Amino acid sequence: MRSNTQRITKYDKKIDSGVIGSRYDKVKDLAVSKEAAALPHQVELELKVKEIITNEPSIQYHFYMLFAKQFNKWGDDENRNILIDRWVTRGLNITLLLEIASKIFNWEKSHLWTWDTTSVFDWDRWN
């Protein structure tokens, strides 16, 4: 077992600014390149969502954008149905969620589960 002195010495070396800085320097370029590749798509997605939710309170924008990012990530219909249900349960407007799904991701009405609220969403209006 190590003594307190040995542990303190090791911890002091571990948190030395030179050591920490060199760790970040090694991965900084990779992190920046990955972020630079992802940001254009993210900004485009957020702008499209913002066009759809213009009449919603701005405090809700973040939640609709999160929904769109998750919807984009979860490709199969079963997970997307669960996702819609989750965000409706959290208080988002199902009409806007379905509009985001159909306009941005070309998600069809036929992909919805039978429990859906198709009567609430006027699909003919968006076709």
Angle between helix axes 77-89 and 61-73 (nearest 10 degrees) is 160
Domain that includes residue 19, residue range: 4-126
Contact yes or no for 65/45 (Cβ under 8 A): yes
Rounded to whole angstroms, what are the CA distances from 20 to 7, 14, 26, 103? 18, 8, 10, 46
Neighbours of 77 (CB within 10 A): 14
Reported confidence tier of residue 11, pLDDT bands at 50, 70, 90: confident
* Separation CA 84–CA 63 (nearest Å): 12
Match 């159909």 to its residue by tokens.
Answer: 102
Q: Is the pLDDT of residue 12 over 70?
A: yes
Contact yes or no for 72/38 (Cβ under 8 A): no
13/5: higher pLDDT: 5
Q: What is the pLDDT of residue 51?
A: 95
Number of domains in the chain: 1
Cα 58-60-64 angle, rounded to 5 deg: 120
